[in-house]
Amino acid sequence: MNHTPHRVAGKTAIVTGGRGDLGSATAALLAHHGAKVASLDVAGVPAAVSHESIKEYDVDVTNEDSVAEAIHRVSDDLGAPDILVNAAGIIGPAGASHTASVPDFDLIFNVNVKGVWLMTKHVVPGMIGKGAGSIINFSSIHGITGGRNVPLYHATKGAVRLLSKSDAAAYGAYGIRVNSIHPGSMNTRMSRRSAEQSDIGPEAYYKQLVGSNPLPRQGEPNEIAYGVLYLASDESRFTTGSELVIDGGYTAI
Ligand SMILES: NC(=O)c1ccc[n+]([C@@H]2O[C@H](COP(=O)([O-])OP(=O)(O)OC[C@H]3O[C@@H](n4cnc5c(N)ncnc54)[C@H](O)[C@@H]3O)[C@@H](O)[C@H]2O)c1
């Protein structure tokens, strides 16, 4: 078996949310495996990992001009992207649907859904030009099952799941693959925020979320990054429109 860590050598990859916990682990692993990586995140968020093959860019994924400009700059600097990883996302406030506000709704849909769509919209023409590309969209276990605490988040992640399948259908003919990835509860800031916001308290929240999983623990960011690496690499060349669930078995039971 070949263990040379160059599974995406020579490819240009964009990772949004690249300064977040899962985005930064993904950016670092893609860079380690030979990709030239553009880490895109909102201005002001400090860079998380430094690697000679990771270049930082500011973007607001909810703003089309910002997205277009960032992708233009990345393409000029590193070449048109072969890989797009849409990891930018927010969870929003906890609470039932009737307690949420219109600004809550607009913000979470703008970041989690419009952001994925805008990035796709502006990256795909370059991929069509190359006749190849791999897009990996971050959904969640919350895009597969419902739940009481964050209904709008579930709604956005469900939308990302089906945008991915629909784009897979539309772009397969151009050699572009689109897949979604569905992390379970991860050891990240986002999950700690949800635990703190939960009305049952962090300890009971974690117990409820992972306590009865086949693998009863939270996942670590690298365990997601390896899934992205597979979908980004040519090893997954026959995989499109699929959903890669990495959740310790949460959705299996
Ligand atoms: N952490 C988990 O347990 C978990 C589980 C399932 C799915 N996910 C999903 O994985 C992805 C990454 O999660 P994470 O844990 O790394 O979260 P994180 O909060 O650590 O990182 C998210 C990043 O997105 C960036 N971002 C937010 N709004 C943006 C915008 N408008 N433009 C550009 N960047 C923006 C943030 O600045 C942040 O760096 C998210 O889509 C999240 O919904 C996370």
Q: Does the CB atom of residue 128 touch ligand 1 within 6 A?
A: no
**Extended beta strands in 139-175, E state:** none
Mean per-residue pLDDT for 79-107?
A: 97
Q: Does the CB atom of residue 45 touch ligand 1 within 6 A?
A: yes
pLDDT reported for residue 31: 97
The contacts of residue 213 (CB under 8 Å, 6+ apart) are: 184, 247, 248, 249, 250, 253
pLDDT reported for residue 50: 78
Q: Does the CB atom of residue 111 touch ligand 1 within 6 A?
A: yes
pLDDT reported for residue 199: 82
Pocket probe for ligand 1: among 21, 106, 163, 190, the residue whose CB has the most ligand atoms within 8 Å is 190
Assess whether 153 carries a catalytic annotation: yes
pLDDT reported for residue 2: 52
pLDDT reported for residue 4: 61
Nearest CA to ligand 1 atom 40: 89
Domains and CATH numbers, the chain: 12-184+221-252 (3.40.50.720)
Closest to 12 (Cα-Cα) out of 232, 181, 228, 217: 232
Pair of tokens at residue 160: 């990302």
Q: C-alpha 165: how far from its chain's center?
A: 15
Q: C-alpha 13: how far from its chain's center?
A: 13
pLDDT reported for residue 1: 54
Nearest CA to ligand 1 atom 13: 22
Amino acid at 167: D
Nearest CA to ligand 1 atom 26: 88
pLDDT reported for residue 151: 98
Q: Considering 57, 153, 171, 250, which one is annotated as catalytic?
A: 153
Q: What is the pLDDT of residues 39-56, one digit of tens each?
A: 999 999 998 777 899 999
pLDDT reported for residue 186: 96
pLDDT(3) > 80: no
Q: What is the pLDDT of residues 172-197, one digit of tens each?
A: 999 999 999 999 999 999 888 888 87
User: What are φ and ψ of residue 51, in 5° steps?
Assistant: -150, 140
Mean per-residue pLDDT for 123-142?
A: 98
pLDDT reported for residue 48: 79
Judged by DSSP in three states, 8 sits in coil
Q: What is the pLDDT of residues 195-247, one digit of tens each?
A: 887 888 888 988 888 999 999 999 999 999 999 999 999 999 999 999 999 99
Nearest CA to ligand 1 atom 5: 183
In angstroms, the CA 136 to CA 118 distance is: 14
Q: What is the mean pLDDT of the chain?
A: 95
pLDDT reported for residue 159: 99
CB-CB contact of 15 with 37 (8 Å): yes
The contacts of residue 69 (CB under 8 Å, 6+ apart) are: none
Mean per-residue pLDDT for 115-126?
A: 99
